[in-house]
A and B are shown apart, each in its own frame.
Chain A
Amino acid sequence: MGRDPDFERVVAEHRPMLMRIVASHEADPERRRDLLQDILLAIWRALPGYRGDGELRAFLARVAHNRCVSHVARAVAEPAAAELHDQLAQAADGIESADRQQRQERLLAAVRRLPLGLRQPVVLTLEGFGPKDIADILGLNANTVSIRLTRAKAALRSALTGGGLDERE
């Protein structure tokens, strides 16, 4: 199996998005790494079948989400409620950086606590996909996606302002 420049380029370009999708489905770092490897393997296999008839990013997000639901089904429990990352306790370079990192961690923790039916449309929305793309990726209709996003936004707002999640599983 030789080097595949397409695969390398695609992964290099979209790895941050893939890692964020993985992070929203798995809190444990070791299992997160395994899941990302699973997704990269699935992309390796699926990439030759990509016909260029849609946005590559949406194609990759779909493969990643397909893998993530299988991962969640295999896991005995849902991802553990995220704790603030240890790194937060260590000094960040500056107050602004620490503040941003803290907001990121809080957001990630709130997203992970959403039920899967809300979490997936939320993650895709945060990645910049519109309801039509999200509907295609998840196999829902656009109206359902919009309704779920409205509920998810309320749940996230409540979680981020310290009220906890109303939509807990």
Chain B
Amino acid sequence: MSVNDDPQWRDLAQDWTAPRDDDDAEAPSLAEVRRRARLQTAVFGAELTVCAAAAAVLAWRAVHGAAWLPTLTGAAFTAFALLAAIWAWRTRDAGSADSVRDALRIAIAQTRTWLRWIVAGYAICAGALLHLAVMLGDAAPPAPPIAAAAAAFVLATLIALAAAQRRQRRRLSNLRALQADLYEAGEADR
């Protein structure tokens, strides 16, 4: 049945598709769309640059005899940030999925992966805090401002991860509710 076969749908479709007065006021310009695409590319480029710079500093420090434990922690942070950035860049778009059902499936899988990334982030932060505690108990502890800055950075990362985890859990729950609404009810219709 298309709208042409049913007079009630046809009448509704006429109202639905009639031009609206506020159509043009709401439309974003194509220049905005291009700007946003460029911005996303620039953000990804910046993330890669920061990771490359951090890796270079770590390598330089390692070559010049820096302690291996902080270098290792820094390398873990850098690798985590790099992999997360690349993953987010490569998998962000479910728009071209074959159907809404597939788009939902992809979105759910992506959200689960984000949650796994967040758990990995917690593990790295816990490792970093442990490492910091060990260093503070060492015979030659780091200068207090450096230790405080490192602790603040790790704590800020933990807070950001917790917020992201809450957001992603809520999203996963919403996606599952939508999936149930759109498809599990649909199976019962058959």
Residues of A within 8 A of B (CB): 1, 7-8, 11, 15-16, 19-20, 29, 32-33, 36-37, 39-46, 49, 62-63, 65-67, 69-70, 72-76, 85, 87, 100-101, 103-104, 107, 115-117, 120, 125-131, 136-141, 143-144, 146-149, 153, 156-157, 169
Contacts and interface: CB of A to CB of B under 8 A. Distances in A.
B12 A126 contact: yes
Majority secondary structure, B binding face: helix
B91 interface: no
State the main secondary structure of chain A at its contact with B: helix
Chain B interface residue number, banded: 35 or more
B100 A138 contact: yes
A125 B2 contact: yes
Contacts of B16: 20, 104, 107, 126-127
A100 B99 contact: no
Nearest to A106: B15
21 contacts: A20-B17, A36-B28, A41-B37, A42-B93, A42-B95, A44-B33, A45-B37, A63-B95, A66-B103, A67-B95, A70-B103, A72-B178, A73-B107, A117-B181, A125-B13, A129-B2, A130-B2, A138-B182, A139-B101, A140-B101, A141-B190
A41 to B, nearest CB: 6
Contacts of B97: 62, 66
B26 A19 contact: yes
A73 B168 CA distance: 10
B46 to A, nearest CB: 17
B181 A73 contact: no
B122 to A, nearest CB: 23
B183 A140 contact: yes
A129 B29 CA distance: 27
Given A87-B21, A117-B186, A37 B100 contact: no
Contacts of A76: 170
Given A16-B19, A20-B16, A36-B27, 9 more contacts: A1-B34, A20-B17, A66-B96, A69-B107, A70-B107, A116-B181, A126-B12, A138-B182, A141-B190
A101 B1 contact: no
Contacts of B138: none
B17 A146 contact: no
Contacts of B178: 69, 72-73, 116
B28 A33 contact: yes
Interface string B8-33: 11001101111111110011101011
